[in-house]
Amino acid sequence: MSIVRVALDVPIPELFDYSAEQALAPGTRVVVPFGSRTRVGVVVETVAESSIPLGRIRPITQVLTDTPSLAPDWIALARFTARYYQRPLGEVILNALPPRLRRPKLLAESGASPNGIALTETGASAPMRGTVRTSILATLRARQPQLRQHLEALGATGASVIRALLHDGLVAEVVMDESAQCELSTPAIIPSPPWDGPTLTDAQQSAVQAVDASRGAFNAHVLFGVTGSGKTEVYLHLARTTLARGESVLVLVPEISLTPQLEQIFISRFSKQAVAVMHSARAEGERASAWIAAQNGVSRLILGTRLAVFAPLQKIGLIIVDEEHDPSLKQQDGVRYSARDLAVFRAREAACPIVLGSATPSLETYSNACAGRYRLLRLPERARAGALLPTIRTVDMRTPSAMQADGLSPVAIAALGERLRRQEQSLVFLNRRGYAPVLGCSACGWVADCERCAAHLVVHLAERRLRCHHCGYGGGVPRACPSCGNVDLTPFGRGTQRLEVALQKLFPEARILRIDSDTTRARGRFTEMIESIHAGSVDILLGTQILAKGHDFPKLTLVVTLNTDAALMAADYRAPERLFAQLQQVAGRAGRASLPGEVLIQTRYPDHPLFRSLISGDYLGFADRQLAEREGAGFPPAISEAVLRAESLEIADAITHLGQAVQLAPQDDLITIYDPVPMSLARLAGWSRAHVLVQSPERRTLQAFLAEWSARLYAARSPRGVRWHIDVDPLEF
């Protein structure tokens, strides 16, 4: 009998001791009793003795042998995450697993779909014909069942041969749940289709060479490439050499559902078996099988969103983080990790290169490059022959005549009309969906607010509803002012719906397509829309930032951005960096092919330095000034920071709790603790929210401080109705 320490998803930063009949490797999934229930956990270590009296240690209920145990380097990643982000190890480990593996039962019992193939009686004696068919039948005769993915990888036509064998009744589908079978799969032979990529430009070539030359050790590279500079092609080449070395590749992207073509490119250059896609919108069965495929080496290239940073890949030889500046790489609840930062940790542990790609590198990353810790690789021009960067102009909105129709300036209207005549496409960018952001009464000043958030309700005219964009709360549009009875309620400001109406009025002949999360909610709708743009059946595209990402529309030659000034004036010190990145990204949609692109930014601050840098294409100049400002003001990356947040029904309770928490903070001269204050969105979904900001000039000091502080906070009982968490390197204040 042995004693094992098991990580469970409970909000207590401890491991739990259980007894096991046989020795269990760390990383094994087990079912254990916990209180009156059973839970799934992961064995983290075996110990010689426990602080619990032997008689009271409970035995493990079941060992889940249907997946291989998690590798030691994976457990090390989880331990680092738990330590750095101040969360219980069990919470980190269990939340990193795909949902099916979080249930206290075998995969087969969780309704897993058939993932294996076995011979039927006819198949057992069927003649061997054809190379791929022969190797599939021979593999099954040597041992069966086998993972379907593994068999499919035995040849370029593997998938269709298996379909034929199934059709002919020579093999059958089965659900596999024996770990022995997973381990059996020898590294799959990955058939790669003919490589049909373009010849690399000199800049792409030298970037590839620089990364290739740095293999075999941890080296971080910042791939600083303008929009359309062909970063993807660099990734593909690096991935190819990595796979050829027998190593695996991890590619992280911010939002994969917005860039379905990226998945297609990777699959077409490698093969469906080699590439596993990981993101939270995939079906549970697919998530489980992608995980297992990564773990047993069938898929050696993982393409995924932030959660894929935990992909259980073996022998990582390269990590790529595309759009590394994107805030969605940071998890905003539960374990609040930065996938980019964990990726850097992983690359260091795996002693392999990491490539952080962006047209607007984050200031954190850029400052590492300035300090010589990361190497800056530049792609200064668009890759495709003849494709130039768009010209960017500001349109001064201070003059009364500037505002003609619902927020569009005469300059923008003329430019849109010109594109219509030339049969080119335009994009109008407004990062605010709905009809109008506020519904108010001009008689008494009443405004429709969310009952659960400190926010106004947004008017959605098409559905005649008011909706909260923070919590989803909704209601009908009142017929009269609830406060004074005035029947003439006014929608103030404008969102994409209202702009759509205005554009239709201005250009009745134009085919206008609105793309925002309201119009793309239905499954497959977004892809359909993207296809219709490519097919040329749209003249004016209108949308939020979901349009800004990575798309390549060759006929799009004009981008107009509206309402940028709100972000320009925002209090958040990261707002300018985000605005620059966002404008750069939308601007990057214009003139991708041989037609020149034009970008019009409507603003009341046409001479703002941010716009000047954007116009002259001088991101680094802008970044240098931002870094100097942050240094002067004591903001990251010059210093490190974390917040302790508390949420309760009444803001006073949250503030009181934070005050008490500050009393428990360890003393340290290098730590500054600010006063508890309400968050900028002070109420969200019924919870009042406040925080305490903690800063230190040294990351290590902050880490030591947080470890001690959170231990004390976990030990102290928090009052009823208050919940709290620590957010390290927070993005939200």
Is residue 484 a contact residue for Zn ion (CB under 5 A)?
Answer: yes
Return the percent helix, strand and coil in the chain, to nearest 5.
35, 25, 40
The encoded tokens of residue 705 equal 């401080």
* Measured distance CA(92)–CA(78) in Å, rounded: 6
Residue 450 touches which of Zn ion, ligand ADP, none (Cβ within 5-8 Å per kind): Zn ion
Are the beta carbons of 382 and 389 closer than 8 angstroms? yes
Q: Does 542 bind Zn ion (CB under 5 A)?
A: no
Residue 473 interaction partner, one of Zn ion, ligand ADP, none, beta carbon < 5-8 Å per kind: Zn ion
Least Cβ distance, residue 265 to ligand ADP (angstroms): 8
Q: Is the dihedral of CA 532, 536, 539, 544 positive or negative?
A: positive
Phi–psi pair at 131, nearest 5 degrees:
-65, -50
Q: Which of 431, 90, 370, 97 is nearest to 222 (CA)?
A: 370
Nearer to ligand ADP, 383 or 481 (CB): 383
Stretch that binds ligand ADP, among 3-11, 192-200, 244-252, 616-624 (CB under 6 A): 192-200
Q: Which is nearer to ligand ADP, 199 or 423 (CB)?
A: 199
Measure the CA angle with vertex 191, ends 188 and 194; round to 5°. Answer: 160
Cα–Cα distance between 428 and 513 in angstroms, integer? Answer: 10
Q: How many CB atoms are closer than 10 A to CB 695?
A: 19
DSSP code string of 387-454: PPPPEEEEEE--SGGG--BTTB-HHHHHHHHHHHHHT-EEEEE-S--SSBSEEEETTT--B-B-SSSS
Does 232 sit near ligand ADP (CB under 6 A)?
A: yes
* Interaction between residue 358 and ligand ADP (CB under 6 A): no
In angstroms, the CA 407 to CA 402 distance is 9
Residue 456, contacted partner among ligand ADP, Zn ion, none, CB below 5-8 A by kind = none
Q: Does 453 bind Zn ion (CB under 5 A)?
A: yes
* Distance set, CA 466 to CA 163, 451, 492, 692, 723 (Å): 51, 12, 13, 33, 29
Judged by CB, which is closer to Zn ion: 443, or 510?
443
Nearer to ligand ADP, 583 or 690 (CB): 583
Q: Which is nearer to Zn ion, 369 or 453 (CB)?
A: 453
| Binding flag, residue 225, ligand ADP (CB under 6 A) | yes
Minimum Å gap between C-beta 241 and ligand ADP is 17
Pairing of strands 37-47, 62-64: unpaired
Q: Which residues contact 389 (CB under 8 A, 6 or more apart)?
A: 226, 227, 228, 381, 382, 591, 597, 617
Residues 6 or more apart in contact with residue 589 via CB below 8 angstroms: 227, 427, 547, 548, 551, 553, 556, 559, 597
Q: Of residues 282, 470, 625, 699, which one binds Zn ion by CB under 5 A? A: 470
CA angle 475, 476, 481 (to 5 degrees): 105
Contact between 104 and ligand ADP per CB under 6 A: no
How far is Cα 217 from Cα 395, in angstroms, rounded to an integer?
A: 49
Tell whether residue 380 is a contact of ligand ADP (CB under 6 A). Answer: no
User: Of 225-233, 280-288, 539-547, 715-723, which part binds ligand ADP (CB under 6 A)?
Assistant: 225-233
- 261 interacts with, out of ligand ADP, Zn ion, none, CB within 5 to 8 A per kind: none
Cβ distance to ligand ADP smaller for residue 232 or 299: 232
Q: For residue 198, state whether it binds ligand ADP (rule: CB under 6 A).
A: yes
Q: From the CB of 346, what's the least distance to ligand ADP, in Å?
A: 23
- The yes or no reply on residue 471 touching Zn ion (CB under 5 A) is yes
CB of 233 to ligand ADP, least distance (A): 4
Is 144 a binder of ligand ADP (CB under 6 A)? no
> Of 381-440, which residues contact ligand ADP (CB under 6 A)?
383-384
Q: Decide whether 380 or 445 has the Cβ nearer to Zn ion.
A: 445
The CB-of-593 to ligand ADP minimum distance in angstroms stands at 8
Residue 575 interacting partner from ligand ADP, Zn ion, none (CB closer than 5 to 8 Å by kind)? none
Which CB, 482 or 666, lies closer to Zn ion? 482
Binders of ligand ADP in range 587-626 (CB under 6 A): none
**Among residues 81, 86, 149, 201, the one that binds ligand ADP under rule CB under 6 A:** 201
Q: What's the rounded Cα separation, in Å, for the pair 600 and 397? A: 12
- Residue type (1 letter), 140: L
- For residue 452, state whether it binds Zn ion (rule: CB under 5 A): yes
Beta bridge partners of 37: 34
Q: Which stretch binds Zn ion (CB under 5 A): 10-18, 136-144, 189-197, 444-452?
A: 444-452
What is the per-residue binding string for Zn ion in 413-442, x denoting contact by CB under 5 A? ----------------------------x-
Q: In this structure, are residues 308 and 279 in contact, taking their beta carbons and an 8 Å threshold?
A: yes
Task: Tell me how far apart the alpha carbons of residues 46 and 69 are, in angstroms, rounded to a whole number.
Answer: 14
Main-chain phi, psi angles of 32, to 5 degrees: -130, 155
- The CA distance from 17 to 43, in Å, is 9
Indicate which single residue of 9, 91, 152, 233 sits in contact with ligand ADP (rule: CB under 6 A).
Answer: 233
Count of residues near ligand ADP by CB under 6 A: 16
Closest by CA to 15, choosing from 6, 4, 28, 2, is: 6
Kindly state whether residue 305 participates in binding ligand ADP, applying the rule CB under 6 A: no
- Write the interaction track for ligand ADP spanning residues 23-52; mark x where CB under 6 A is met and - where it is not: ------------------------------
The two structure tokens encoding residue 480: 């009269």
450: contact with Zn ion by CB under 5 A? yes
Residue 628 touches which of Zn ion, ligand ADP, none (CB < 5 to 8 A by kind)? none
C-alpha distances (whole Å) from 189 to each of 156, 160, 180, 244, 297 are 10, 17, 20, 11, 10
Nearer to ligand ADP, 228 or 576 (CB): 228
Instruction: Name the residue number minimizing CB distance to ligand ADP.
Output: 230
Sequence-separated (6 or more) residues with CB below 8 Å from residue 469: 433, 434, 455, 458
With contacts defined by CB under 6 A, name the span among 125-133, 198-206, 508-516, 698-706 that binds ligand ADP.
Answer: 198-206
Site string for Zn ion, 637-676 (x = CB under 5 A): ----------------------------------------
| CA distances from residue 24 to 21, 61, 62 in whole angstroms, order as listed | 9, 13, 12
Binding interface with ligand ADP (CB under 6 A): 198-201, 204, 225, 227-233, 383-384, 552
Binding interface with Zn ion (CB under 5 A): 441, 443-444, 446, 450, 452-453, 468, 470-471, 473, 481, 483-484, 486
